[in-house]
Amino acid sequence: MPLKKALTLILGLCLADVATAQGNSGPYLAGRTAVLDNDYAAAADYYTRALIRDSRNPVLLENALTAFLGLGDLGRAVPLGRRLIEAGVESQIANLVLIGDAAQRRAWDPLLDDIEAGQSVGPLFDGLIVAWAQLGAGRMSNALAAFDEVMSNNGVEAFGLYHKALALASVGDFEGAEKIFSGESGTELRLTRRGIIAYAQVLSQLEKNDVALELIAASFGDNLDPGLQAMRASIEAGETLQFDAVRDATDGVAEIYHSIAGALRGETQDGYTLLYSRMAQALRPDHIDAVLLTAELLENLERYELATEAYDTVPRTSPAFHAAEMGRAEALRRSGRTDAAVEVLKQLTESHGDIPMVHITLGDTLRGLEQYDDAIPAYDKALELIGTPDESHWIVFFARGIAHERTDQWPNAESDFRQALTLRPEQPQVLNYLGYSFLEMQENLDEALDLIERAVALRPDSGYIIDSLGWGLYRMGRYPEAVGHMERAVELMPIDPIVNDHLGDVYWAVGRHREAEFQWHRALSFITDQTSADDVDPDRIRRKLEVGLDAVFE
C-alpha cells in the first residue's frame, strides 16, 4: 500500500462507512478527533465502543488497531489485525502487526507463507523479513540469498548489508560479519552507535580487542557514556565481549522495525514512525534504543504521560538509565511539571554525578526556568568534570555566560563568552550575544558592531541577529543606516514585540514619527504573558506613545 494511503488511514481522514454514522457517529467522531490529537488512549476507548455496534467496519478496525499500537498494546492490536485480514481488507498496518506477532511466536514457515501470499508492508521490509524468517527456520543459505536480494535494490543496499552482518554474527560467523562491517565487502557502511557497538562486539569475539578500542576511540572520542565506558573497560581488561546485538531471528525482526523507524525519523509523520518503534519494543523489550526512540516520538506528539511511561521502563541498571531520566525530566518539563523535572535531574546528579551531561541538562533546565543562580553551579560542576574542554563544549560556556549575565555578573559572563569563542571562533549566537550585551551597556561599541556584523554574515536570515545590527547602529547614533536592517528584521520576525519596538525607536530617530507610533502599537499587541519585561517593557512603550521617545529619554 502506498505510504500516503497508509498515513491517511492512520490519521482517520477517510470517510467512515455510511452505516457507521447511524447510531454510532458519536464514538467514531470522538475517536477520530482523538487520533488527530495523537491521544491514543482516548482513541482506543472510543473506537472500541464504536466496534461494539459495527464490529466489521474496516475504518473502525484500522483506527482502533493504530490506537492500540500507539499505546504499545500488541496484545489488543493483533486480534484487530486478524479481523481486518480475514475481512479481505488490504491493510499495511495490520500486516505490520501480524508479521511482528508471527516473529514473536517464532512461526517462521507460516510467516513465509503469508508473505508469499501477499501479506506485505513494503519491498524493503518484506525482503528483510523473508531473510530473517529463513534464518529462524534454520535455512541459513536461503537467508543469505534473501539478504543479497535486498542488497540488489537501489538505495537500500546498506540495509541489506547491515542486517546480513548481524545475521552472520548471530550464528557465530564473526569473520563474515567483520568483512561487512569493515567495508572489505566493497561497501562502506555508515554505522550508527548501535552498529558500532555490534562491530566492536564482533571484533572482540575475533580476539581483536585492540582494533575494537581503536574503533570506539575513532567513533566517540574520550567522552563516552556509561555503556561505552563499561565496554571500553571490559576490552582494556582483556575480556571478550559477548555478541548480544542480535541474539536470534526474533531479535533480527525487532532490528528491522528499529532500522526502518530510524530511517523514517524526521522524514515522515512521527505518528507513523511510532508504529515501527513500538513494534521493535514489543518484540524486544530490552531494546533500549527502541524504547528511547518511542519516548522521543511521543514527546514530539505531545503525549508526555506516555513518554514518561516509556522512559520509566528503562531499568536503573541499564547504561542508558541516565539518558532515560534526562528524557523523562524533559517530558515532565514540557507537560508543565517543572518542579518534578528539576527533582528528577537533581536525583540524577546524585546517582550519576560523574556524567557531565547530567549537570549540563540540570543547568539548562534551571536556566530555562530563569533560575539563573541555581543554574550556574550545575554548569560549574559539568565543566569541572570535563576538565580540558574541546570545541564541542563552547555551548556550556555560552549557557553559563548567559546565566552569569542575567545575574549581573558581567565579568564572569564576558569571560565565558570569550572562552566559547576561543573554542568556536565563528559561532554566530555567541558573537551576537556578546556584541548585543556590549551595546546594552554602551561599552566597546566598535567591537560590538564588529561581532554582530560577523554574526550577520554567518546568519543572514536570522531576524534576531539582524535586529542586533540595526539596534547597534541606532545606539551608535547612525540612525539612517539602522533603518534598513531593522525593517529587514521585522520582515523576518513580524510578530516579535522586541523587534517591532526597536523599529519604532529607529523610525522616531529619523523623524518618521507616525510610523514609529504604528510600530509601538504593533509591539504592544504582540506582548504575551510569556514576554519578559526585561526584554520589552509595555509601560515604557505606552509612555512613548503618550509623550514621544524624546520625552521618555529626558
* Angstrom distances, CA of residue 477 to CA of 78, 445, 467: 71, 11, 15
Count of CA atoms in the C-beta half-sphere (13 A) of 455: 27
- Residue ending a domain, among 90, 108, 133, is 90
Please answer whether residues 213 and 241 qualify as being in contact, where contact means their C-beta atoms are separated by less than 8 angstroms: no
Q: Tell me, what CATH number does 55's domain have? A: 1.25.40
Q: What is the pLDDT of residue 6?
A: 42
In a domain, 155, yes or no: no
Identify whether 508 is part of a domain: yes
Whether 235 maps to a domain, the answer reads no
pLDDT at 24: 59
Domain boundary among 48, 66, 90: 90
Residues 6+ apart with CB under 8 A from 211: 203
Q: Is residue 76 part of a domain?
A: yes
- Whether the Cβ atoms of residue 515 and residue 533 lie closer than 8 Å to each other: no
What burial letters (b/e) apply to 261-277, b meaning 16+ CB within 10 Å?
A: bbbbbeeebbbbbbbbb
Number of structural domains the chain divides into: 2
pLDDT of 18 reads 39
Q: What is the CATH number of the domain that holds 511?
A: 1.25.40.10
Would you state the pLDDT for residue 23?
Answer: 52
How many residues are there in the chain?
A: 554
State pLDDT tens for residues 161-182: 999 999 999 999 999 999 999 9
* Nearest alpha carbon to residue 260 among 92, 29, 412: 92
Q: Is residue 414 part of a domain?
A: no
3 belongs to a structural domain: yes
Q: Comparing C-alpha atoms, which of 118, 99, 117 is closest to residue 108?
A: 99
In a domain, 510, yes or no: yes
C-alpha span between 68 and 369 (Å, rounded): 36
End residue of a domain, out of 49, 66, 90? 90
The pLDDT of residue 402: 97
- pLDDT for residue 537: 87
- Domain of residue 513: give its range: 456-554
Tell me which residue has cell 566597546.
444
Q: How far apart are CA 1 and CA 118, in angstroms?
A: 11
Number of H helices and E strands in the chain, helices first, is: 32, 0
The 3-state secondary structure of 328-380 reads HHHHHHHCCCHHHHHHHHHHHHHHCCCCHHHHHHHHHHHHHCCCHHHHHHHHH
Give phi and psi for 212, each to the nearest 5.
-60, -40
The answer to whether residue 399 is domain-embedded is: no
CA atoms within 13 A on the CB side of 7: 11
pTM of the model: 0.84
- Pick the closest to residue 544 from 526, 530, 518, 535 (CA basis): 518
The number of beta carbons lying within 10 Å of the beta carbon of residue 349 is: 18
Task: Determine phi and psi for 537, rounding to 5 degrees.
Answer: -100, 110
**How confident is the prediction along the chain (554 residues), in pLDDT tens digits per residue?**
444 434 444 444 333 443 344 455 777 788 888 878 889 999 899 888 888 888 888 888 999 999 999 999 999 999 999 999 998 888 999 999 999 999 999 999 999 999 999 899 999 999 999 999 999 999 999 999 999 999 998 888 999 999 999 999 999 999 999 999 999 887 888 999 999 999 999 999 999 999 999 999 999 987 788 889 999 999 999 999 999 999 999 999 999 999 999 999 988 999 999 999 999 999 999 999 999 999 999 999 999 999 999 999 999 999 999 999 999 999 999 999 999 999 999 999 999 999 999 999 999 999 999 999 999 999 999 999 999 999 999 999 999 999 999 999 999 999 999 999 999 999 999 999 999 999 889 899 899 999 999 999 999 999 999 999 999 999 889 999 999 999 999 999 999 999 999 999 999 999 999 999 999 999 999 988 777 766 788 999 999 999 988 888 87
